[in-house]
Amino acid sequence: MKTIVTDREPLPIPAPYPMPFSATIAHPNLMLWDSWCYAEGGDWHLYCLALSKIDGNGERIYPEDRNQHKFHVRHFKSHDKGQSWFDCGVFQQPHITPNGYFDRNIWSGSVLPLPDGRFITGFTGIREISGDRPFLQSIGIAISDDGMRAEHAQPEPLSCPLRDYDQITALGYYLGPKETLGHKDGEEGGPILSWRDPFLFRELDGTLQAVWSAKVSPKEGAMAHATLIETRVGFEIETLHPPLTYPDGDLFTQAEVPKIYFNAQTGNYFCVLAACDRLYEGQDDSEVTKVTRLYRAKALRGPWAPFEDSGSRLKGLEHLFGGSIIETDFEAREMTMLAPYTEMADDEIELTFAPPVKIEY
């Protein structure tokens, strides 16, 4: 994956596409990847990362070069459980803040409706420290009044590996040397820094929890976990807990976009994870395996186990990565996933969204 920063700019973010998409979302103007979602009032809301397919000079942006450009978060809505989708336009984009924690770029996150009608948004803010360090990641929080735009981003990140280095590492998380955080070449022989992809959810007692992608060694992915509270100045971390690890964590190096779901009838937690075995930055994508994994536990803090005895890897999801669960039927042992195709899929479907996928477990 190329990570050289360029002065080329993509075209201005396009207005919502005027025609509905049927089952799949193959946007004529945008590459789409990663996903987070929620269902409310019979409607499905899908959010994802997006980037114009051509830059300001009219030249094509290739999928492998997209980290050279600023992304935005796109919002799609379905009234018929994914049979058709409507483009709602941009939800969030990089923004200048006093400390610049997401002026370079914005990466994946989540959107959660709150009881008072607001929507809390977790996102990954990307700050460029230097040309060699373009990917310093922080966990950001924003509030949306209506779920259509993330209008109110907090001026300071919820968690920043540079600012909070000592606290994070003391708990057992791995961060590379402080002076190289966010380096384009990765961390001590492994992939790049992993402090990203916050997923927000509420426990039955109303407690607000967050998990995100982290590491416990240069090449071992883990899940960060924090309990959040709201104060008069915004949301903050009440407790940053020690890392959660996966029982088969030796099978992959990156544990991305983790998402937690709860079955109130059985008390089981489920974790859906996008995992890959990238050994180092610059490794050819054809050598990297990307899979979706599913885990279960009786408690949020674990221990986590593969969803079935044969393992955690979900079958039948070839070239799908970064998926989200939009609907669950725990009695039928079935979930419905929304997921995009990776750049390893055929050219006509890469970085588009597949139709909703039924997962049996």
For residue 338, what are the contacts with CB-CB under 8 A and spacing of at least 6?
35, 37, 44, 46, 82, 323, 324, 326, 353, 356, 357
Is 66 inside a domain boundary? Answer: no
pLDDT tens digits along 110-157: 999 999 999 999 999 999 999 999 999 999 999 999 999 999 999 999
pLDDT (average), residues 97-104: 91
Give the CATH number for residue 124.
Answer: 2.115.10.20
Is 310 inside a domain boundary? Answer: yes
> 58: left (phi > 0), else alpha (psi -120 to 50), else beta?
left
Is 331 inside a domain boundary? Answer: yes
Is 140 inside a domain boundary? Answer: yes
pLDDT tens digits along 4-36: 444 456 677 999 999 999 999 999 999 999 999
Is 200 inside a domain boundary? Answer: yes
Residue (of 74, 67, 98, 287) closest to 182 by Cα position: 67
Q: Are 333 and 361 in contact (CB under 8 A)?
A: yes
Is 38 inside a domain boundary? Answer: no
pTM above 0.85, yes or no: yes
Strand partners, 320: 341
Helix (H) or strand (E) holding 263: strand 254-263
- Locate 27 and state its tokens: 């946007």
Is 321 inside a domain boundary? Answer: yes
Is 153 inside a domain boundary? Answer: yes
pLDDT of amino acid 324: 97
Q: Which domain holds residue 237?
A: 96-337
What's the structural domain count of the chain? 1
Which band of pLDDT confidence, cut at 50, 70 and 90, is reported for residue 360? confident
What average pLDDT does the chain have? Answer: 94
Residue (of 32, 51, 62) closest to 353 by Cα position: 32
pLDDT for residue 49 is more than 80: yes
Q: Are 124 and 138 in contact (CB under 8 A)?
A: yes
pLDDT of amino acid 8: 53
Q: Are 51 and 10 in contact (CB under 8 A)?
A: yes
pLDDT of amino acid 3: 41
What is the total residue count of the chain? 361
